[in-house]
Chains A and B, each alone.
Chain A
Amino acid sequence: MRHFRRLSHTADVRLLVRGSTLDDLFVAALDALNDLLQHGFCQSAPRLVRRTTILAEATDRTTLLIDFLSAVLTRTMLERVVFCQVHFRELNDRRLTAELRGAPLDRFDHDVKAVTYHEAAIRQAADGAYETLVVVDV
């Protein structure tokens, strides 16, 4: 199970992200970010002709998640590519190696300035799913 939805925030975007596993949670967070960049783009099955690899290390999995999303955002803004697909060669509480595939995009729905650490805290809910809030500056 992977899921995200938007919650209310006065000026920016507050996302609730959930996944059955840590891997699913990270993928759901990427889906949520991409949906902000352009709604429906990844669902339109674009040809994923661009590849990149992201390595990240952090002291805890929440920081790791935000650092991962920040790195993806930076690559997106530099290359004007939305990375719709990710495979985690390695993912644990402190380290990840992600292989991403994406498609070029020349129009964005939002000026996503940054993925913030604000309110982010990965926890396991009563149903066992991993979840966290992610607040994005737009």
Chain B
Amino acid sequence: MISRENLVQRGPVVWEIPPSFRPGMRVPARLFASAELIESILGDRSLAQLTNVACLPGIVEAAIAMPDIHEGYGFPIGGVAAMDVATGVVSPGGIGYDINCGVRLLLTEETAAQLKPNLHQLADTLNKAVPSGVGRGGHHPVSGAELDAVLRDGLGWAIARGFATEEDAAHIESHGQLPGADPGSVSNQAKKRGHTQLGTMGAGNHFVELDRVETLVEPAVARAYGLFPDQVVALIHCGSRGLGHQVATDYIRTMLRKLPDYGLDLPDRELACAPIGSAEAREYLAGMAAAANFAWVNRQLITHAVRASWKAVLGLKASLPKILYDVSHNIAKRERHTVEGRLAEVLVHRKGATRSFGPGHPDVPAAFRSTGQPVLIPGSMGTASYVLAGTTGAMEISFGSSCHGAGRVLSRSAAKRQINAAALKRRLTGRGIEVRAGSLAGLAEEAPEAYKDVDAVVNVVAQAGLAKIVARLTPLAVVKG
């Protein structure tokens, strides 16, 4: 286990474990955290896992951990690893099984005060409109050529079918479509697992939530984003469902078998990888892109359901929620970054981390070019969530990345043992939060006590210069599987 003595402080909230810590490390392990957060981070194996990531061939600058880091399997959750495209590897575990799990924020024109009489009905309507639960199917089964079109075209499919507009696509990372997606790189089993699951939330920590804008910290940026005080916004958190899980499973297995062919010897099998230029890597990236497109269509169909719910409850003349932005937090992207003073193309793995690109970056949508992209950080249920703005500083120290949430501190079984789910639900509803949960056990697993303090996590992100806090949100209604 790693202890505090192994950490070298490089800045007020920046720490490193140098490569000399253990044989095989090619770069330092870099952690963004406050002194207080470090205590909980040292309580699990996340930093040890980060040092394993630092051993991967072609990794550049550092294996990076966000302040919400926690133990995963292979890569920790809350990590960033950039690989030189010429000498590096792609590791599906560095993206995760839920490919393109991400968060979308929808802006409404209503205030919490205006919506209060309808909140109960809205929660009920959303709960019915968005299928949730493990393995549950939705209202938009697709198969064959239609499914292939979803995988290849992402938001393009949704626009063609009338579920999305061009304006929606312009407010989604990568326009909701990763180029190079190949349905042929997605196995039949993956397609069978996912083909009934479009427009569904899943379970676990996935949710649809209504929040109110409690505090504006950067009013000018907030105005540019379309945020105003007491505004109701909707948050959607989910990913690529069974399709993505199977894509990752398939390629981790394939790459594990091919490791000897590439002379790769890894500290953890779950870091299974292949050289970026190899056939296996190309196929995986094409399959990953397809699964990512599936996830964006998934969140778009849920957006469609939220809009339909809005009309159903508030009337046909109600203004429909608009997308502020949609960020992925499990994905790999080819990007250009400065590495050792030179502009280089790298493959950036983000697993439980989001992009945080600042003003002027060409990949930031035109609407946000002057402010930096929105960065969406959902807290645990019942606490707070945040909207931040990406910074140019993030490009220098984290490959343009920020955290993705609050980060767990309690295991699921410990949370179920320690937290009375019925009492938790009463506590939330006592605060006026409408709660719709498919499983009380699932509710306990997602209790606020199971997570780090999101305010503390976001403050580290701001202090490190990875993103700028724009607004703090607090929940009005939570819908979970």
Contact = CB atoms under 8 A, between A and B. Distances in A.
Pair from one complex: yes
Interface of A: 6, 8-13, 59, 63, 67, 70, 74, 77-78, 80, 107-114, 116-120, 135, 137-138
A71 to B, nearest CB: 9
Given A78-B192, A108-B133, A138-B204, 13 more contacts: A8-B411, A10-B44, A11-B412, A12-B72, A13-B412, A74-B189, A74-B193, A77-B135, A77-B193, A111-B135, A114-B97, A118-B270, A137-B97
B269 A117 contact: yes
B412 A114 contact: no
Contacts of B248: 114
Interface stretch (B169-177, B252-260, B303-311, B396-404): B252-260
Given A111-B204, A118-B269, A10 B249 contact: no
A113 B245 contact: yes
B441 interface: yes
Interface residues of B, number: 43
A132 B176 CA distance: 41
Nearest to A62: B269
28 contacts: A8-B414, A10-B408, A11-B77, A12-B72, A13-B412, A63-B269, A70-B249, A74-B246, A74-B249, A77-B135, A77-B193, A78-B189, A78-B192, A80-B135, A107-B134, A109-B439, A110-B134, A111-B135, A111-B204, A113-B98, A114-B249, A116-B93, A116-B270, A117-B256, A117-B270, A118-B268, A118-B269, A137-B73
A109 B438 CA distance: 10
B246 A119 contact: no
A116 to B, nearest CB: 4
Given A74-B249, A109-B441, A11 B411 contact: yes
A111 B445 CA distance: 13
B74 interface: yes
A118 B253 CA distance: 12
Contacts of A108: 133-135, 203
Contact of B73 (A6, A74, A109, A118): A118
B272 interface: yes
Contact of B242 (A67, A77, A118): A77
Nearest to A37: B134
A6 to B, nearest CB: 6
A9 B249 contact: no
B73 A10 contact: no
A112 B73 CA distance: 14
Given A78-B193, A114-B248, A120-B269, A10 B411 contact: yes
Q: Top 3 nearest A-B pairs by Cβ distance?
A: A118-B73, A117-B269, A108-B134
A79 to B, nearest CB: 10
A137 B72 CA distance: 8
